[in-house]
Amino acid sequence: MPGWVYVISNKSMPGIVKVGYTDRSPESRADELNHTGNPHSYLADYGMLVDNPKSIERRVHKNLRYCREGREWFRCSAEDAIAAIQIVAGSTVIKEIFYRADRDRAYHLRREQELKNERQRKEAEQEATKKRQIVEQKKEFERQLAEINARYNKRISDLTARSSDKWIMIVSIIVIAIIIDNQYPKMGWGFFLILAGFLGLATASCIIGFLEKSQKSSSDYNTKHQALITERDKEIERLRISPEQTPKSVNAGTPTLETENSSETLVSDLHKQFGPHTEFKFGVPFNNKDEKKIIFAFVFILVVLVIVLVALFANNPPYEQHKPVSQYSQSPVNTESQGKPVPRNLFENRVKKSQMNSEEAKIRKEAAERRQTDELAKETAKKEAFERQSEDLVAEGKNSSDKGRYVDAMSKLDRAININDKNYIAYLYRGVTNYRMKKYNDAITDCSKAISLNGEFVDALFYRGLAYQQLKQYKNATIDYNRANLLNPQEINVLRQRGLVYQITGHENWAFADFERACKLGSKLSCDQLKNYVGFTSKSK
């Protein structure tokens, strides 16, 4: 909605102007401000008609916040306020009126403000570009430092590299495995592999550590190590003073304080980490004092573990007191001669133990299969018993329903359904009982459940059709009678009831055809219905 952004002043408040907006003219707004509390009148200095006065007023207030006196009053000249309004409004001006303000002075102030804004924008862009260059050069500097670090780490680790370490591990594991197997030939495979692997790796680590320590104590290693550190420090120094890594600044290529301090900090941290009297952080062993502590702790733990295992096996050898027993015999599966077992070859012992495990697994599998077969037979017998009980209750419920004892019939049929909810005959007779009790909606529900369990159940279709017929839902009744007739074309009751529905709905020809077919099949009631139609006698003759 168009409105005016105005500048108003008062003689009693020199140097202060009011900047606001109104949907009336600036002069009318000035008159509204006049009251007896001020000795001089409020006068309009300037007004601009725009489409969005509220937004422009808010932005002008933001630009003039440095001279805000309070609320909409600002300590500046009217021309300064006008210049701020013109800059914010831009090309959206519809109309502007200079009442008392100087147009030329406002124009010059506006041009000065626009030039100032343009200079500030360019300076901000230059500052952002400068910071971006500094960040990029800092990242490149850090990347090259990381490359130098990784390269010299690898070269220093290569000084102690040996190709025999893996063979030391393999041989240690094999030797420990042979010793354990000779001492404890009946140990299980899983525990045997875990123990042999752990003790073998522990032994190999001690041997490798001892060899590495001996190698590092040599004068040749110290000479090569010191040479690599000196070479690395020189490369880092060249990288630090390289002109390609020094960012250009405003003052004739002198590095800015931020970049220079960042580089000095990085180099200082690098020297602290990789100084001449220290080693690399990655790929280099600990110093001598730390290495001695760790080796001593590792050996102590290894000795304690060996003592515990020896004491445990001496009191209770694995598989000595708890031999597996066959399911069909009280004697152990694998008997040993009395006395202390004679040590055997590693592979022979493991093969025999594997054969014992396979026999035990076969016995367990056969037992599991027999249990599964027994459980299946029990479940089948239980299911058959439930089905027989449900069928007996259905027969009793049908008998009660036929004799008119509907409450007793419903109770027995409900119990039959609770026992076997898949017994569609129980749903049928409960639906028939509901039909006889004139509960036609319940009868439809039960017959529908029976049909869902057996889609070719003619009796359920017939009785649901009867229930629909009683509710005068003749279309649904006709659908059920048609399905029942397709399944059993010789069913007399279906033909007669469908004929009655056709007769009620006015389809006399279809009704006559159903009555005639039912009469020929032996339905006396259908023959009586045919007497209502003209020409029955001649047709029967």
Last residue of a domain, one of 264, 280, 302: 302
The pair of structure tokens assigned to 487 is 């399944």
Pure H helices in 287-345: 288-315
Q: How far, CA to CA in Å, does 263 sit from each of 26, 52, 279, 316, 386?
A: 61, 52, 22, 67, 88
The pair of structure tokens assigned to 240 is 């630090």
In sequence order, which residues have a C-beta less than 8 Å from that of residue 12 and are 6 or more positions away? 38, 39, 40
Does residue 33 sit in the same domain as residue 146? Answer: no
Confidence (pLDDT) at 277 = 39
Q: Please answer whether residues 84 and 113 qualify as being in contact, where contact means their C-beta atoms are separated by less than 8 angstroms.
A: yes
Q: What are phi and psi of 33, to 5 degrees?
A: -80, -20
* CA separation for the pair 75, 57 (Å, rounded): 16
Confidence (pLDDT) at 7 = 93
Rounded to two decimals, the pTM is 0.34
Q: What are phi and psi of 247, to 5 degrees?
A: -70, 145
Does residue 148 sit in the same domain as residue 41? Answer: no
Does residue 72 sit in the same domain as residue 173? Answer: no
351 part of a folded domain: no
Does residue 256 sit in the same domain as residue 171? Answer: yes
Does residue 276 sit in the same domain as residue 185? Answer: yes
Does residue 90 sit in the same domain as residue 166? Answer: no
Cα angle 374-376-378, degrees, rounded to a multiple of 5:
70
Does residue 144 sit in the same domain as residue 240? Answer: yes
Confidence (pLDDT) at 291 = 56
Give the range of the structural domain holding residue 281, as residue numbers without chain letter.
Answer: 140-302
pLDDT, averaged in runs of 10, over the chain (541 residues): 90 91 89 83 91 90 89 90 89 88 88 88 90 87 86 82 79 84 74 81 81 79 85 81 48 37 48 42 42 63 66 51 42 43 50 70 85 87 81 86 87 86 87 90 91 87 91 90 88 88 88 86 81 53 35
Does residue 24 sit in the same domain as residue 73? Answer: yes
Last residue of a domain, one of 278, 302, 326: 302
Does residue 85 sit in the same domain as residue 164? Answer: no
2 half-sphere exposure, CB direction, 13 A CA radius: 10
Confidence (pLDDT) at 75 = 92
409 part of a folded domain: no
Last residue of a domain, one of 302, 325, 360: 302
Region for residue 438 given its phi and psi (left: phi exceeds 0; alpha: psi -120 to 50; beta: otherwise): left
88 part of a folded domain: yes
365 part of a folded domain: no
83 part of a folded domain: yes
Confidence (pLDDT) at 279 = 38
